[in-house]
Amino acid sequence: MQLLAHGGAGGDPDDPETRQQQLDRAVQAGADADDPEAAVLATVHELEASPRFNAGSGSAVQSDGVIRTDAGLMREDGTTGAACSMPGVEHAGDVARVVAHETPHVLLAGENAIALAEAFDVATDGDLWSEQQRQRWAELDPPDTDDRGEHLRWVREQFGGTDTVGAVAVEGNRLAALTSTGGRWCALAGRVGDVPQVGAGFYASEHAAVSATGAGEAIARFGLSRWVDDTIADGADPATACERGMTAFEEATGDTAGVIAVDREGRTGGAFNSDSMQTGSSR
Ligand code: ASP
């Protein structure tokens, strides 16, 4: 199994060594899995459980003080599932798996996604607040949501942050990609970014599997994961495709992101235009 995971494109994190250890442990957890889909699920599961990443426990909070999680999963055979806007759901990746395998749909949102998760034994009553997020939120004084203009002005001021997680894996001719997030700090309540959108935060085909991170609105408009996958399909190796993808993304959007990819030959690549993007790899 060739497996590569990222811990988000952003600024230099506090305590990068601990985060690196957690990324490496998460990759180990996935490397023994039976197939690429199980591998990315196991890896992301570990990262969602860590308060040091913006996914599951430790997720960013939205402007109404509620944490909502999103994830998207895809395999080379087109099997795809995503879920978004889920308060209390630590393992959004597991809900994406349920959507992919148990429904005829690609994306489920909010309370109905939570009800589906419950029906398939995915826990939905998690406390996703990390100590750091709790303190940061307590220092803010958000204007009431009833004062729409003032609230939106405040959202524009506060909105930002990264550290989403993702993993891509290949074994033989099977590939899978999974990305999971709490979105971005102080986004307007109900905002959904790139992560559960096919071709934006995640993509897989018979050629490659790709996971993106960074400014979600720009990633979604540009279609970053699909762009990198198409470039690999056209013959580029993953490292070149990720570099080219980031150059084109920056030219088109002027925004910040990172992307990782693996192809069916087991070659990996990653690129980012943020200050840092930590990755862990099985080989
Ligand atoms: N892409 C994520 C979002 O916009 C944020 C991140 O990558 O950390 O929801």
User: Would the pLDDT of 250 be above 90?
Assistant: yes
Q: Is the CB–ligand 1 distance for residue 193 below 6 Å?
A: yes
Residue 222 located in a structural domain: no
Give yes or no: 247 in active site: no
Report the sign of the C-alpha dihedral through residues 181, 225, 176, 197, in that order.
Answer: positive
Task: Band the pLDDT of 62: cuts 50, 70, 90.
Answer: very high
The structural domain count of the chain equals 1
Report the nearest-CA residue for atom 8 of ligand 1. Answer: 162
Task: Give the mutation target among 44, 48, 155, 162 for probing the ligand 1 site: most ligand atoms within 8 A of CB.
Answer: 162
Over residues 29-35, the mean pLDDT reads 96
Task: Band the pLDDT of 142: cuts 50, 70, 90.
Answer: confident
Cα(172) to centroid(ligand 1), Å: 30
Report the sign of the C-alpha dihedral through residues 45, 122, 216, 211, in that order.
Answer: positive
Q: Is the CB–ligand 1 distance for residue 54 below 6 Å?
A: yes
What residues make up the domain containing 59?
A: 2-199
- The residue among 123, 76, 115, 77 whose CA lies nearest residue 99 is 115
Over residues 127-137, the mean pLDDT reads 92
Residue 221 located in a structural domain: no
- Per-residue pLDDT of 74-125, as tens digits, reads 999 999 999 999 999 999 999 999 999 999 999 999 999 999 999 999 999 9
Q: How far apart are CA 161 and CA 247, in angstroms?
A: 21
Q: Max CA-CA distance within the chain?
A: 55
Cα(79) to centroid(ligand 1), Å: 23
Residue 186 located in a structural domain: yes
Task: Band the pLDDT of 61: cuts 50, 70, 90.
Answer: very high
Q: What is the pTM of this model?
A: 0.97
User: Would the pLDDT of 213 be above 90?
Assistant: yes
Residue 229 located in a structural domain: no
Residue 65 located in a structural domain: yes
Q: Is the CB–ligand 1 distance for residue 195 below 6 Å?
A: yes
Candidates 69, 164, 179, 279; catalytic one: 164
Residue 16 located in a structural domain: yes
Residue 107 Cα distances to 24, 47, 84, 97, angstroms: 30, 22, 8, 11
- Per-residue pLDDT of 155-195, as tens digits, reads 998 888 788 999 999 999 999 999 999 999 999 999 999 99
Residue 81 located in a structural domain: yes
Residue 267 located in a structural domain: no
